[in-house]
Amino acid sequence: MRNTARWAATLALTAGAVCGPLTGAALAAPDSLYAPSALVLTLGHGDSAATATPARAVTLTCAPTASGTHPAAALACAELRGVGGDLDAFQVRDGVQCTKQYDPVVVTVDGVWQGKRVSYERTFANECVKGSLGASLFTF
């Protein structure tokens, strides 16, 4: 229960940093021509987000320009645009060899991509398997 509460608190704090409080102004029509694209990505150790020990979280905003605390925001946004926001489209790179050690790592992505709600969770067998995806999005 303690890990779940910490995980929820981490997510709530970073979501507030990205999206800000939901006030009347925030709920009004946007002043931009761009559909909102603001995400909170989290990484934890465990089998699922509900049971994982949180390790880190980053923010990623892609419209109108790439920004946030993600270490490679511009590249991550370009990759997301390249797959049309389909997080399941990222493929494992050829030739990457990982051990079969089971030390699960779970990544979550929550927020809005081009105006549509996103909630994604993926568990990898270990850090190497996570790193074998051909994307910098999960490298934080």
Residue pLDDT, tens place only, 4-40: 544 454 445 444 544 454 443 344 444 557 788 999 9
Q: Is residue 25 part of a domain?
A: no
Q: Whole-angstrom Cα distance, residue 62 to residue 133?
A: 20
Residue 49 has pLDDT above 80, yes or no: yes
pTM (predicted TM-score): 0.74
Q: Is residue 138 part of a domain?
A: no
Residue type, 109: V
Distances (CA, A) of 139 to 8, 16, 57, 116: 21, 22, 11, 23
**Which sign does the torsion angle of CA 54, 51, 107, 123 carry?**
positive
Q: Is residue 136 part of a domain?
A: no
Q: Is residue 12 part of a domain?
A: yes
As for how many domains the chain has, the answer is: 1
Residue pLDDT, tens place only, 118-137: 999 999 999 999 999 878 99
Q: Is residue 99 part of a domain?
A: yes
Q: Whole-angstrom Cα distance, residue 128 to residue 64?
A: 33
CATH number of the domain to which 118 belongs: 3.30.350.10
Q: Is residue 27 part of a domain?
A: no
Residue pLDDT, tens place only, 65-120: 999 999 999 999 999 999 999 999 988 788 889 999 999 999 999 999 999 999 99
Which residue segment(s) compose the domain that 49 sits in?
2-19+32-131
